[in-house]
A and B are shown apart, each in its own frame.
Chain A
């Protein structure tokens, strides 16, 4: 801990004030409002609030559409995380061999991080378009085979691929950094013991980056619950027939299109609890990573 401090604590208070004011107004107040709204029945923009206890949650949990949204969100979270992480891991493992062109490949894998979610959504909307996209070839032979605007499963596949594509870069950066932090002497020692490159990947590098792997896993799942709005909104709009109605999208649709503030607030509270649980897991783990290395 530090020994030398400045005195003049009024300056210290002044310095933290801006951040505290902003997080109070835009984070804590809205979060507590969400909790309050979820327990009352509110008329939009003023009017009376009637205390209804857990009635909103009860309505929500007996709503088949909500459960559909939960199911779709978990499918999306698991599928896009699995796809993005496995691709990023393979690419990072091989990029880490640092053969010729390594720097070029590294930049080549990183740039998709910079693309906005709606831009990814719009590009994939064209790529998967049944009339003009890449799968229009199949539709020439088998008319009507591919049409994500009608077929719910295909729409989910489309959203998963777009979501995974967007997060590969992020995962790649972390995997590569973890791989490069493995001491070179370890790799060389195992090579002397006769372990070939593939053997080293399996028995040395993979176990050593396990903490990063777990960290990335939690981040990916959290992000796919919260950060998927832009892609879904532009790519499918939650359709067809609610097939891609993810939790965040449903909150937005119920709150701002349906003007059901209490319902949207109840959904927000549930999602908040989910995100908190995931963040908690993530930081429990970070505590342990300190001991690991």
Chain B
């Protein structure tokens, strides 16, 4: 810094190290528990140093939760959500910034207001929609009398149905809408100079060509930032998969699987709690997003701050 302050520097280090230790502590305890056998973990003084059962526990936790399938599912969903969100955010922002049409502000506000409607506050009716994703349209047809009209005219009873429960589509599609991603892209597109657009037009490029050949290559850092945040977001999904996936053996996701590892009377039947396995499972689930965040740190921080969430 500017002046010599040895005492304060020492204090700074003490504070930072203490903070770091406090943050690491619960994970360390979980890690240590995952390295001991059941008896050691459940005897009263908590273990503070690792034992030698780590690989055994990891293997067992992996096997009882069938983590292989869950990892595959979670990767599929995470990739789907990341790609979907980036694509949707990109084209929406592109339309909002590079075209001039009435209703532009309306679209902007419609997207914006979704920020105020997180999944948790509309969970019950959203579940009903997932049971039949076309129900909104059916309801509108019914309400306007079109169903009856079509039935009398053609004799066909309109009955739209698209069940999203227990499917990848159901896991991915509702999460693809993104207000924050759209704003991030919009902010970036607003910095593109008019001259670039004019030059592209003069060279005979249409809007799609301009998007693919000019804007997308320019927005690579944007994509990296969004992808990191959205990957963590998708990997850690809990409430939504908990509700719409009842067929956990085939469509289960890792975070939901943790709920079944909780050692209480349901899972152990009153026997000794299997904390060593629960903690091994916790570690398995938390590692991939941590690796992504640490490796992609720079883009991740930038994306988080630019989206203001």
Contacts and interface: CB of A to CB of B under 8 A. Distances in A.
Interface of A: 2-6, 8-9, 11-13, 15-16, 18-20, 22-31, 33-34, 37, 45, 87, 90-91, 94-95, 97-99, 101, 105, 107-127, 129, 131-134, 136-137, 139-140, 165, 168-170, 173-174, 177, 187-188, 191, 196-198, 215, 219, 226-227, 229-230, 233-234, 248, 251-252, 255-256, 261, 264-265, 268, 271-272, 275-276, 279, 286
B195 to A, nearest CB: 8
B197 interface: yes
Contacts of B99: 5-6, 8-9, 11-12
B42 A168 contact: no
Q: What 4 pairs across the A-B complex have the smallest Cβ distances?
A: A116-B236, A33-B125, A12-B99, A30-B125
Interface residues of B, number: 107
6 contacts: A5-B98, A19-B177, A116-B235, A140-B44, A229-B238, A261-B124
Given A23-B114, A23-B177, A123-B279, 14 more contacts: A12-B101, A16-B92, A19-B92, A22-B177, A99-B13, A111-B294, A116-B286, A118-B259, A126-B30, A132-B43, A165-B23, A174-B304, A256-B124, A279-B116
Interface of B: 1-3, 5, 8-9, 12-13, 15-16, 19-20, 22-27, 29-30, 33, 41-46, 88-89, 91-92, 94-101, 107, 110-111, 114-118, 120-129, 133, 136, 173-174, 176-177, 182, 190, 194, 197-198, 201, 206-208, 210, 232, 235-236, 238-239, 242-243, 254-256, 258-259, 261-262, 273, 275, 278-279, 281-282, 285-286, 289-290, 292-294, 297, 300-301, 304-305, 308-309
B238 A118 contact: yes
Contacts of B197: 2, 4-6
Given A114-B293, A126-B275, A196-B5, A132 B206 contact: no
Chain B interface main SS type: helix
Contact of B110 (A23, A165, A196, A265): A23
Among B121, B262, B308, find the residue whose CB has the most chain A CB atoms closer than 10 A. B121
A114 B290 contact: yes
Nearest to A268: B121
Given A116-B255, A268-B121, A136 B1 contact: no
B200 to A, nearest CB: 9
B279 A229 contact: no
Contacts of B30: 122-123, 126-127
B194 A2 contact: yes
B19 to A, nearest CB: 5
A278 B94 CA distance: 29
Contacts of B9: 97, 99
B239 A34 contact: no
A97 B1 CA distance: 7
Given A26-B126, A116-B238, A118-B255, A215 B308 contact: yes
B150 to A, nearest CB: 21
Contact of A110 (B1, B107, B111, B301): B301
Contacts of B118: 226-227, 275
Contacts of B23: 108-109, 112, 165, 168-169
Nearest to B264: A237
A281 B100 CA distance: 30
Nearest to A263: B124
B44 A268 contact: no
Among B46, B122, B190, B285, find the residue whose CB has the most chain A CB atoms closer than 10 A. B122
A112 B28 CA distance: 13
Contacts of B45: 136-137, 140
B78 to A, nearest CB: 12
A176 to B, nearest CB: 9
Contacts of B114: 23, 27
Nearest to B181: A19
A12 B106 CA distance: 14
A11 B13 CA distance: 57
Given A6-B207, A98-B1, A173 B33 contact: no
B26 A127 contact: yes
Contacts of A129: 273, 275
A128 B282 CA distance: 15
Contacts of A165: 23, 26
A16 B96 contact: yes
A136 B46 contact: yes
A3 B194 CA distance: 7
A15 B20 contact: no
A67 to B, nearest CB: 19
Contact of B282 (A101, A123, A248): A123
A156 B235 CA distance: 27
A27 B262 contact: no
A157 B258 CA distance: 22
B285 A105 contact: no
Contact of A114 (B29, B110, B232): B232
A119 B19 contact: no
A131 B239 CA distance: 29
A60 to B, nearest CB: 14
Contacts of B309: 219
